[in-house]
Structure formats: C-alpha cells, structure tokens
Structure 1
C-alpha cells in the first residue's frame, strides 16, 4: 500500500474513532449537542442508541487499523466498503452532509488502496 493510501486510511480510522468518542461519551455534552444539532432532551432520550452507533463506528475504526497492521489490502478495502455503505445510508436517511464527512473520504481512500 502506498504512503498516501495508508495516511488516508489512518485518517478515516481516526475519524471513526472520533465518532465513537462523540457518540458514546460526548452525546449529551455541549460538543455532542452542537456537532449533531441536538436538543438536550432528545440527546438524553436517544443516548442508548447513540452509544450503540458509536460502538459500531469503533468497530469500523478497529477493522481499518487491523487491516493496516496485518498489511491486508483486502481487509482494509472491506472495512472501507463498510464505511462507504454506512455513509451512503446515513446521507440517504439522516443528512446529506454525512456523505461528505463519512463516505467520500472512504471512497478516496479505497481508490488509493486499490490503485497499485
């Protein structure tokens, strides 16, 4: 894998680790409320769902890191595909900007990983 591909995969993994922190630990805090444009009442009611979602983002991040650690382009591409699917679904069902925050970086990373 090239250095630019590796760097972008690491950035996507860090982004998803940040999503884990936001959703699992900061959902009801001011930064979580601002980031996701939530009211405190809604954040409290949806906290369990957010923690579950954060855990899945952590799995995406862990899968990318694992793929890099074992030098497996296939594993990295698989987890990037998961990220893209999650980002496209989020853009279609929640907010279109999710595509640009989540899916687009993963698409670019996948293109760099796949390109030899």
Structure 2
C-alpha cells in the first residue's frame, strides 16, 4: 500500500506542478485557454492567478517533502498534511469556481490520502 500511496502522491504532485505553471508562467497563453478567460481580462487577472499559483507551489513543496524526507514518519506527516490541504482546496474550488476542480484535485488527493492512511 505504501507504493500505491507514493505513486498517487506523485500524480497529485504532477497535477499541481502543471497547475502552478498554467497559473504563473503560462497564464497569458495556455492558462487563459484552460480557465476560459477572455483575452481582455488577462492583464487584470494575471497577478491574482500568479498569487494562486504560488499557493499551489507550496502544496507541491509539502508533498515533495512528504516523498523525499529521510525520516518516514516526518515524510508521512508532510504527505498527509499536503493531501488534506489539496483535498480541502479542491472542495472549496468546486463550491466556488467549478465542479470540475473536485475531480481534478480532490479525487486524486483523497485517493492518495486513503492509501497513506491504509499503509
């Protein structure tokens, strides 16, 4: 089960690295298309999205520490914390922005969290 937890967490990391990129460096091109933002709103929203991307970067950092920390107990704590944060943020995003966020963020995080708790 530990291998499954690790793999699912790595998938959540990959999803969030992509999110960080489209909310920051790729926002004016790919991000605008992904989020369905009209071109005339991009300049106004770019700073907000960059800030949001920064927070998603912190989630990636927590999960990466969870997988890479040499002490398994500390690594597990970081992974569980990061996954709970991703799941909660996904629920909030689904409630306030788009239901799609529930499936993109919350479901993978919840599966990984369940695997960690079962490991």
TM-score (norm 2): 0.92
1:67 aligned residue: 66
Which 4+ residue blocks in structure 1 deviate beyond 3 angstroms? none
Looking at structure 1, the residues matched to 58 and 78 of structure 2 have their Cα atoms a distance apart, in angstroms, of: 13
Note the C-alpha offset of 1:53: 0.3
Looking at structure 2, the residues matched to 11 and 46 of structure 1 have their Cα atoms a distance apart, in angstroms, of: 28
1:83 equivalent to 2:86? Answer yes
Aligned residues: 115
Aligned counterparts, 1:6-85, within 5 A: 6-29=6-29, 31-70=30-69, 71=72, 72-85=75-88
RMSD: 1.0
Q: Structure 1, residues 51-76: CA drift from partner, whole Å, max 9, x if none?
A: 00000001100110001111321211
> Quick one: which of 104, 107, 119 aligns to 1:104?
107
Consecutive unaligned residues in structure 1, runs of 5 or more: none
TM-score (norm 1): 0.95
